[in-house]
Amino acid sequence: MKRKLYIFLCLLFLLLGKIATSCKIASKSNTDSLEVKVNKLFSEWDKPDSPGVALAVVKDGSVVYKQGYGLANLEYNIPIIPSTIFHVASVSKQFTAFAIVLLAQQGKLSLDDDIRKHLPEVPDFGKTIRIRHLIHHISGLRDQWELLVMAGWRLDDVITKEHILKMVRHQRELNFAPGEEYLYCNTGFTLLAEIVARVSGHSFAEWTERNIFKPLGMTNTQFYDDHEKIVKNRAYSYSPLKKGGFKKRVLSYANVGATSLFTTVEDMSKWVNNFNDQRVGGKAVIEQMHEQGVLNNGKKISYVFDLVIGNHKGLKTVSHSGGDAGYRSHVVRFPEQKFAVVILGNRSALNPSRLSMQVADIYLADWIQPEKPKKKSERKIAKIDPAVYETYAGKYWFQLGFFITITKENNRLMVKLTGQPKVEILPESETRFFIKETGSQLTFHLNNIGQVIQLTFRRGSVDMSGEKLNPPVLDERKLAEYIGDYYSDELGTTYTIVVKNNKLVAQHRRHSDMLLNPTIEDRFEGPLWFFGRIHFTRNKENRVVGFKLTGGRVRNLSFVKQYK
């Protein structure tokens, strides 16, 4: 009897062992198949003559996959590996916000402090800017990079903290009152880093090293505040050339807070895990890091403490991207699944946000909600004479700071919003059209002689009205009124307006000439991101006395005409 029992138990253990081995093989096979899919996703970057990307996938507190693709240095053929160090641009900001929250929890500052309590050299704009305004990008301050470029700097110049602080001291106006609206602003995070330094008595780089990086074991991470400092195992940044190959994208920043974190995907995995295990900061700090910003009207924004709350295929996400020179980065967490993807790259053509979501789709396939089939548009497309489209073609100016361009192309009416691709609009009636892909509606308003005077653009439940631009015909005498030197005391720089080939041109010693196209009376459209719109101003005698310059994150910066 005992012998039979012994044989039975042996057979049972043997069977269980085979089952366990089979499970392990199946599990490994499943893991391998996931990795194969991921590697296929990154095949475009996995080349021996191309810059590339490093990847880390984190699940339940562990790195389940990490890999490098492409080269960290093209001149010496150094490959990217998971321990390669990258500049991560705006992904840096969440560490700056975290430092502020840690100091607030220690009672060394308050998020509601007037920033002038810590930075008395910041001008008094007549309205209080609080620390939390800087964190949520609702301060109204003008953006440091755009101001510097307007002043004639190149973004590959050596730009130090001192340069930026001097720029802030000379700001004369805000883009808007603090708390009135959201507008991304790098200046705020340079100021936050300086607040940390002044409150703590240590440089920002030293303080974060001691209080964040070392406690988390992030041994290959630092804030880079010296452009001449040697960093071993770093990746250099590149951009593709049109005819093939690559060129270097030089980055010489010596400022921190808004940017300049150097780190690896391995170290960033430790950082994302801290949002779950709360080793540094504890529950109160982690909760604070996810508090949404609130505007003066009570509306919440999706931007929290340099983290963006979002949704991907039914799953909650917390993420942020970064891009400077040729560096590109994206870190996304799926907090409910305890899952994260970290992608750091050194090629400007990389889209790490899209790639990270594709990686998530592979690993979270069982969690992703099937996409609901889109309802077919119930709108009926009207039949109208395409000849009427000629009346609608043109450019429309909206006070919120963007243009809509309408063109007629092969009996189709096309629309292009500033910074958006061109798409077709379909007629519901002779004056009302819609965009099939988004459902947005456009309505043309005509006067009694059939001329378009206004365009209403409806996105969701919001209506925006724009006026049709009928560019004035400027003769030689009219153009001559604008000629001259214009000086900005805020920037300490001068632009010269000249006439070339019967066109107005803006010149600067450190920029290429910029052609200005008239839109409406005394207003022109510029060709570059920092020189987008220019509005000449006149005195009571109708004499041109200056202009106001608007870019993407700087509004109505004043220049005064210099009369000899």
H or E element that contains 560: strand 557-562
pLDDT value for 63? 98
Per residue in 59-75, pLDDT tens? 999 999 999 999 999 99
Number of separate helices (H) and strands (E) present in the chain: 13, 31
- What is the pLDDT of the chain when averaged over all its residues? 91
Residues 186 and 192 sit within 8 Å (Cβ to Cβ): no
pLDDT at 26 over 90: no
Q: 153 pLDDT band (50/70/90 cuts)?
A: very high
Per residue in 540-561, pLDDT tens? 999 999 999 999 899 999 999 9
Mean pLDDT of 356-377: 82
The domain defined by 476-562 folds into Lipocalin (2.40.128)
Collapsing DSSP states into helix, strand and coil, what is residue 291?
A: coil
Per residue in 180-206, pLDDT tens? 999 999 999 999 999 999 999 999 999
Q: What percent of the chain has pLDDT over 90?
A: 78
pLDDT at 18 over 90: no
CATH 2.40.128.50 corresponds to the domain 386-468: yes
What six digits make up the tokens of 458?
A: 């409806």
Rounded to an integer, what distance in angstroms lies between the CA atom of residue 47 and that of residue 504? 47
Domain ranges of the chain: 62-363, 386-468, 476-562
Q: 450 pLDDT band (50/70/90 cuts)?
A: confident
Mean pLDDT of 457-482: 88
pLDDT value for 400? 66
Q: What percent of the chain has pLDDT over 70?
A: 92
Collapsing DSSP states into helix, strand and coil, what is residue 231?
A: coil
Q: Which residues are within 8 A (CB) of 469 and not within 5 positions of it... i.e. 6 or more apart?
A: 394, 395, 396, 397, 519, 520
Torsions phi, psi for 266 (to 5 deg): -65, -45
Per residue in 339-348, pLDDT tens? 999 999 999 9
pLDDT at 216 over 70: yes
Mean pLDDT of 297-302: 94
Per residue in 395-431, pLDDT tens? 888 866 678 899 999 889 999 887 678 999 999 999 9
pLDDT at 2 over 50: no
CATH architecture type of domain 62-363: 3-Layer(aba) Sandwich (3.40)
Torsions phi, psi for 519 (to 5 deg): -115, -60
Task: Report how far apart, in Å, the C-alpha atoms of 18 and of each of 9, 21, 22 are.
Answer: 14, 5, 6
Rounded to an integer, what distance in angstroms lies between the CA atom of residue 366 and that of residue 339? 13
Mean pLDDT of 516-520: 90
H or E element that contains 97: helix 93-105
What six digits make up the tokens of 426?
A: 């379909």
Where does 346-411 show beta strands of DSSP type E? Answer: 394-398, 402-409
Would 386-468 and 476-562 be classified into the same CATH topology?
yes
Task: Identify the residue with better confidence: 13 or 110.
Answer: 110
